[in-house]
Every structure is written in structure tokens, then in C-alpha cells.
């Protein structure tokens, strides 16, 4: 079984548990040999075979949020109670209680914030310092920028989490997970949600 | 007396208490009739008259921060105890205790974060909702983006402030001030710091 999570910049592919990725261009010329169940937030993805099956309507997701991206729905879908952080090109934070989505918010991802800083001033063109301390105030630009990207978000998530678990996924999910005591990093969280939605329709891998 | 605060995108001008602004190009062809005391973080500013006097060395500022921008120094210079937030193209947050700078951090400004979101996905192209509640989780994209820009920063600043005052300046300083109980918005904070530095050198307006 093939699963595809088509994001803003590329597609992640799950093939019987093995993970790979393709650009949107590559995906548009890809002819799967078996059924390829997908979710997509990218209007440039044009499936060119009837093997591609859009499963965005398969999720029975309890929320009052208008226009919630299907990738966020999938990422939250197996979480009964907890905070779901998908740290990719954007970072989305969603809260689940008893399988009911409570709402969520969005901040630009690490790369996008670094680029934004760089465009403001050449002085702010730095790489992130992954070792920056959140316990002490920064004393140089690279730490000031790194702290500014990490600390506000981490403090808010910690405050929201209280006794809830924090589930992280996405390209920078592992990076952020080390700032929390009660964090679970699962790079396949979205695929697990897709598998649950398929199983609920009687489609098993 | 003329004071100039030359920023990343334009220059703010203080003329005996009246405030105006010029683009960097305008400033580069500007011939002041009196002494123009300036600080600049913009290497494109090329003063073309000896009436321009760089006062960046006039500040006797106690910090161990390496490479602190002179605009941040000026903004903190009259603050004995407090948190100084300069919300412009970038947002800088600095903490002062007994006139000693404790460190600080930087996040992209509101416009830069909105642009960063927009570049990630067309779906995230929204204006900020200035009325967004920070007490409830967002239930639609415009609120999710607005909350994501405002809430993490406001929450962290509140946590840091404890019984300290929060001093805000910059183009978005007034906007942010309404999210705090103990906030003082002063659009002329940087000029007040410059005036103090000049007075310490015996130059009075």
C-alpha cells in the first residue's frame, strides 16, 4: 500500500512502512502500480492516474475550526488527548481532548523565520544555534535569533500542555522535541492518521 | 536640534520634538541646516554633510551582549528596570535591571511573519486580526495566523516581566501594548535615549 502526504513543497511517501519523498513535479509524472491513497494541501499536485485516491473525506474529525488543513487533521487523528505540533515549512499547533479538536495556531517554520530575519537585515543572517539555552538571555545575535524562534513557541506550548503529552512531527519536530520533558516525536504521525482513516473504511494495509 | 534614527527601511527624524520620516534615498540627498545627531543600523545611509554627527559612541551602556544594535542600546538607555520591546521590521526584546542590560532576543516583525506565512502557502495569505483573542484557541486561519504571531511572544514577555514594567516602541509597539496590563507605549523611546546620551556629553536641545 502507498500513502502520500502532499505538502506545500514536496510529498512524503509511505510504502508499506518505508518512507521516501518526491518533489511535486516528480509526483505529477509518477504512475503508481498499486493504489496510492493521498492527502494534499498543494494545488499544484495533479494526479495523473486513477490509482491515486484522495482520502481527505475519509476522516471523521470533530472540530469547529473552519478550513483546517487535511494534513493537520491527519496529524491529530490518532491523538485522544494531547498537543500536536507539526514543525515543517509552517509550524502548526493543535490541541486534542477526548478526540475532539479544540483549535490551534500557526507560526512560520524555522527556515521561514530565518529567511524573514535575513531579509530584514544582513546582520540577522545567521544559522540557528540548536544548542541555545532557553534558561539564559541571549548575549549575541545568533543566540538572540535562535532564542526568538524557539523560546516563545516552546514556552507557550509548555503552558498549554500542563499534564497533556506533546506529540511532534515534521522536519523540525525532532529538533523541537528536545525542549520538552513530555514530548513524543513521531515522524509518521500523519501516516498513522491516514492508516486509521483507511481502517475505519475497511481498507487495511 | 535634529535627531535621526536610521533603521533598516527608513529614517525617523526628531526635530525639536516633531517627528517625521525619510527614506534612505531621501536622507542621502538631505543637507541639514543644523547639526543632525544620528544613529544608524543601515549601511546604505551615506551622510553627505559634516552636519551629520554619528553618536553611536556616546552611549555608556552596560552589557556583555556582543554586537548589540545601536538602536536597541538607545531604546534601552533611559530604562532603569524593565522590558524594552521595539516592534518594527524586527521585534527586539531586551531586559534592563538597574541600568544594566541583561540580554535580549529578536523575532521577525508582524509584516515579516505575515509575508513568511504567505510564501509558505497561499492559504496562509491573511491580514492580521488585531482583535484576536489570546484567551481562546483559534478556530479559523486568520485567527490561527494572528494568534501565532502575537500569543507566543506576548506570553513569553509576560512570563519574563513579573513585576517589571514593559516599555514598547516601534511601528507595531502600540498594537502590542494592548495585550499587556503593565505596558507603556512610547513612540519616542529611542530619541529619549539619544537625548540622554547627548546631555551626558553636555549637548542640550
CATH 3.30.420.40 fits B79-189, yes or no: yes
Query: B162 in contact with A at a CB cutoff of 8 Å?
Result: no
Percent of chain B at pLDDT > 90 equals 96
Confidence at B205, pLDDT banded by 50, 70, 90: confident
pLDDT at B24 exceeding the cut of 80: yes
Nearest beta carbon to residue A105 from set B41, B105, B148? B148
B140 strand-pairing partners? A66
Confidence at A36, pLDDT banded by 50, 70, 90: very high
DSSP A176: H
Query: A149 in contact with B at a CB cutoff of 8 Å?
Result: yes
Confidence at A201, pLDDT banded by 50, 70, 90: very high
pLDDT at A182 exceeding the cut of 90: no
Strands A52-54 and A36-40, bridge-based pairing: parallel
Q: What is the Cα–Cα distance from B203 to B195, expressed in whole angstroms?
A: 8
Contact B28, B49 (CB under 8 A): no
pLDDT value for A157: 98
For the structural domain made of A2-54, what CATH number should be given? Answer: 3.30.420.40
Give the distance from residue A129's alpha carbon to the nearest chain B alpha carbon, in angstroms.
Answer: 13
- Do A2-54 and A76-187 fold alike per CATH? yes
Contact A30, A46 (CB under 8 A): no
Strands B82-87 and B166-169, bridge-based pairing: parallel
Largest CA distance in chain B: 57
Query: B137 in contact with A at a CB cutoff of 8 Å?
Result: yes
pLDDT value for A163: 83
Instruction: Determine the average pLDDT of the residues in A97-112.
Output: 98
Q: Which CATH class is domain A76-187?
A: alpha beta
Q: What is the Cα–Cα distance from A82 to B144, expressed in whole angstroms?
A: 18
The whole-angstrom distance between residue A166's C-alpha and the CA centroid of its chain comes to: 13
Nearest beta carbon to residue A106 from set B95, B122, B145? B145
**Which H, E and C letters describe A86-135, residue by residue?**
EECCEEEEEEEECCEEEEEEEEECHHHHHHHHHHHCHHHCCCCCCCCCCC
φ and ψ of A164, to 5 deg: -90, 150
B128 strand-pairing partners? none
Q: What is the Cα–Cα distance from B97 to A170, expressed in whole angstroms?
A: 39
Contact B6, B41 (CB under 8 A): yes
Contact B103, B76 (CB under 8 A): no
Q: Which residues of B touch A103 (CB under 8 A)?
A: 136-139, 144
CB contact under 8 A, A120 and B90: yes
Residue A166: name the closest of A101, A93, A59 by CA.
A93
CB contact under 8 A, A121 and B90: yes
DSSP B66: B
Confidence at A205, pLDDT banded by 50, 70, 90: confident
Instruction: Determine the average pLDDT of the residues in A7-19.
Output: 94
Q: Give me the sheet containing A36-40, strands edge to edge.
A: A18-23, A10-15, A2-6, A36-40, A52-54
Q: What is the Cα–Cα distance from B63 to B111, expressed in whole angstroms?
A: 29
pLDDT value for B71: 97
Instruction: Determine the average pLDDT of the residues in A170-191.
Output: 96
Confidence at B94, pLDDT banded by 50, 70, 90: very high
φ and ψ of B58, to 5 deg: -80, -15
Q: 35-74 in B: which are within 8 Å (CB) of A?
A: 41, 43, 64-67, 69
Residue A94: name the closest of A78, A80, A105 by CA.
A105
pLDDT value for B202: 96
Confidence at B18, pLDDT banded by 50, 70, 90: very high
Q: Which residues of A touch B136 (CB under 8 A)?
A: 103
CB contact under 8 A, B103 and A145: no
pLDDT value for B40: 97
| Per-residue pLDDT tens over the stretch A62-96 | 999 999 999 999 999 999 999 999 999 999 999 99
| Per-residue pLDDT tens over the stretch B127-163 | 999 999 999 999 999 999 999 999 999 999 999 998 8
Confidence at B204, pLDDT banded by 50, 70, 90: confident
Q: What is the Cα–Cα distance from A94 to B135, expressed in whole angstroms?
A: 15
Instruction: Determine the average pLDDT of the residues in A180-197.
Output: 96
Q: What is the Cα–Cα distance from B189 to B92, expressed in whole angstroms?
A: 13
Confidence at A106, pLDDT banded by 50, 70, 90: very high
User: Virtual CA dihedral for B116, B121, B122, B126, nearest 10 degrees?
Assistant: -50
A199 strand-pairing partners? none
Domain boundaries, chain B: 2-54, 79-189
Nearest beta carbon to residue A106 from set B69, B117, B155? B117
| Per-residue pLDDT tens over the stretch A112-122 | 999 999 999 99
Query: B128 in contact with A at a CB cutoff of 8 Å?
Result: no
Contact A93, A104 (CB under 8 A): yes
- Tell me the pLDDT of chain B averaged across its residues: 96
| Residue A71 bears catalytic tag | yes
Nearest beta carbon to residue A108 from set B92, B117, B136? B117
Query: A17 in contact with B at a CB cutoff of 8 Å?
Result: no
CA distances in angstroms from B61 to B38, B102, B142, B189, listed in the order given: 17, 11, 41, 16
Confidence at B50, pLDDT banded by 50, 70, 90: very high
Instruction: Determine the average pLDDT of the residues in A122-132.
Output: 96
User: Most B CBs within 10 Å: which of A121, A132, A142, A161, as the mutation test of the B interface?
Assistant: A121
Give the distance from residue A174's alpha carbon to the nearest chain B alpha carbon, in angstroms.
Answer: 20
Instruction: Determine the average pLDDT of the residues in B94-99.
Output: 98
pLDDT value for B110: 98
Q: Which long-range contacts (CB under 8 A, 24 or more apart) does B121-128 make?
A: B121/A8, B121/A41, B121/A89, B121/A90, B122/A43, B123/A41, B123/A67, B123/A69, B124/A90, B124/A106
Amino acid at each position: 500500500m502507498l500513502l502520500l502526504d502532499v505538502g506545500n513543497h514536496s510529498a512524503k511517501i509511505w510504502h508499506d512502512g518505508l518512507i521516501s519523498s518526491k518533489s511535486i513535479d516528480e509526483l505529477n509524472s509518477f504512475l503508481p502500480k498499486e493504489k496510492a491513497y493521498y492527502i494534499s494541501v498543494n494545488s499544484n499536485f495533479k494526479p495523473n492516474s486513477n490509482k491515486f485516491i484522495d482520502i481527505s473525506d475519509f476522516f471523521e474529525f470533530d472540530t469547529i475550526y473552519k478550513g483546517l488543513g487535511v494534513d493537520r487533521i491527519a496529524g491529530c487523528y490518532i491523538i485522544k488527548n494531547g498537543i500536536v505540533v507539526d514543525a515543517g515549512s509552517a509550524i502548526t499547533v493543535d490541541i486534542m481532548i477526548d478526540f475532539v479538536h479544540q483549535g490551534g495556531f500557526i507560526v512560520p517554520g524555522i527556515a521561514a523565520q530565518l529567511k524573514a530575519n535575513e531579509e530584514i537585515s544582513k546582520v540577522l543572517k545567521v544559522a540557528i544555534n540548536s544548542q541555545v539555552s532557553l534558561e539564559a538571555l541571549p548575549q549575541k545575535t545568533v543566540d538572540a535569533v535562535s532564542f526568538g524562534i524557539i523560546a516563545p513557541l516552546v514556552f507557550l506550548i509548555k503552558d498549554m500542555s500542563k499534564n497533556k503529552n506533546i506529540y511532534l512531527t515534521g522536519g523540525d519536530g525532532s529538533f523541537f522535541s528536545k525542549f520538552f520533558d513530555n514530548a513524543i516525536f513521531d515522524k509518521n504521525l500523519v501516516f498513522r492518521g491516514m492508516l486509521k482513516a483507511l481502517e475505519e473504511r475497511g481498507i487495511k494495509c
